[in-house]
Structure 1
């Protein structure tokens, strides 16, 4: 249990939480995702597909919301490492009703880092090139995800899930991007395998956003995810 407590402590002190922010807002994210290997002669090939779609609602009733659709294709380098590339379409609406559209091209490496304290640790590094309808520059964002999944012995097919993902903006843009730390996401929740083809995850995400020309912001998010195997 001590290593798990240490893991929680690292997450809590690595980045500022709600007490360091002066603006706090609630929200809800709903996610659908599917990923699997393509079949060749009835066997799993090294090529994989990925698709996820998200609906995000902030400060419920304010009209602020976001939608995302993200397909991708990956190649399994070995049993622990998979390389991916893909595209995402991101649409955002603010409280004034203004809508912006964003195109994101992305490349990533997924790594199954091994076992720790009865659970599994995985890592993901992603690079995104972002262009938006309200600006001319292309943003460059690096994201680093560490995730820990541990089965709960008393509850069959149920897991504890902990994740942390900092975002780093690598360049300034004319639409508001500023080089440096952009945001950090900390997630804690539970996942349950409902069937061979469906798993559901639910939990809390603390999303801290650094802003140069405004108060830093923290979103307190309820997250519900449906993971489907086609």
Structure 2
């Protein structure tokens, strides 16, 4: 049953990511014809992640992610994202998590709360590491009139390119869809994130990743956004010590 679920999830995920790439390429092109319909910004996203076994099959995850906007000149928001997860097959895990997201805007601070569930599959084809991740989020967003349900799917490819396999090339794409209508968050495409960068295994337990992300944000009632993001991640896996 798990294998059948993985097979169909991989097919659906690939289709969603392909659609996301097409949409991510189409919208900015249209914006070049009407420049006022697209707002661009350079941002910095910095992630600190730790994960590993809590007890028996149960594993824990914690992420702290400050994001800076306005050419990395102002704090935009902080993501505080804990979770627990466990294996449902040798290559797949099931996750349950929470996210608390205070956003620092010019007119005040607003905090979003998310509950999320995730199914993740990590497979290898030779030295190529293929990650498919499907996440469902129930979002309690200030100034809306209900709970926004969002589906997001990530496809990530990582390939080592040095003899010691300490350095790797990483490319990824993640597409987001709102599944229901709430005020200011209509159903349909929410955003798409396309990433290219590098990974460096500093120690068996510590890994550094960095690169560029093109983050297209669809805003039906406002000008769309294209954020050019510097993304830096430091990940510590205490199972690998």
User: What does the per-residue CA deviation read over 1:52-85, in whole Å, with 9 as the maximum and x for residues that have no partner?
Assistant: 1100011136645110101111121111111010
Among 106, 110, 113, the alignment partner of 1:103 is 113
Q: Are the counterparts in 1 of residues 207 and 236 from structure 2 also a CA contact under 8 Å?
A: yes
Deviations 1:35-61 (A, max 9, x none): 22234xxxxx32111111100011136
Q: Identify which of 153, 159, 171 aligns with 1:150.
A: 159
The whole-number CA distance in structure 1 between the counterparts of 2:188 and 2:115 is 20
- Give the drift of 1:20: 4.0
Q: Select the structure that is richer in helix.
A: 2
Map of 1:1-230 to 2, 5 A cutoff? 14-17=22-25, 18-21=28-31, 22-39=38-55, 45-60=56-71, 63=74, 65-94=76-105, 96-115=106-125, 118-153=127-162, 156-174=165-183, 176-230=184-238
1:112 Cα offset (Å): 1.5
Distance 1:20 1:30, change over 3 A: farther
| Unaligned ranges ≥5, structure 2 | 1-17, 32-37
1 CA distance for matches of 2:232 and 2:141?
27
CA distance in 1 between partners of 2:110 and 2:20 (Å): 33
| Counterparts of 1:181 and 1:12, CA distance in 2 | 9
State TM-score, norm by structure 1.
0.86
- Show CA shifts across 1:64-118 (max 9, x none): 5110101111121111111010111001122x242110110000001124316x4
- Which runs of 5 or more structure 1 residues have no equivalent in the other structure? 1-9, 40-44
Q: Deviations over 1:132-175 (max 9, x none)?
A: 2333311000000000010012564011111100000011112x
Partners of 1:173 and 1:62 in 2: how far apart?
31
- The alpha-carbon distance between structure 1 residues 224 and 217, as it changes in their structure 2 partners (threshold 3 A), is same
User: Hey, what's the Cα distance between the residues in 1 that align with 2:155 and 2:177?
Assistant: 15
Q: State the distance in 2 between where 1:16 and 1:38 align.
A: 39
| Segments of 4+ moved more than 6 angstroms | none
Shift of 1:11: 9.2
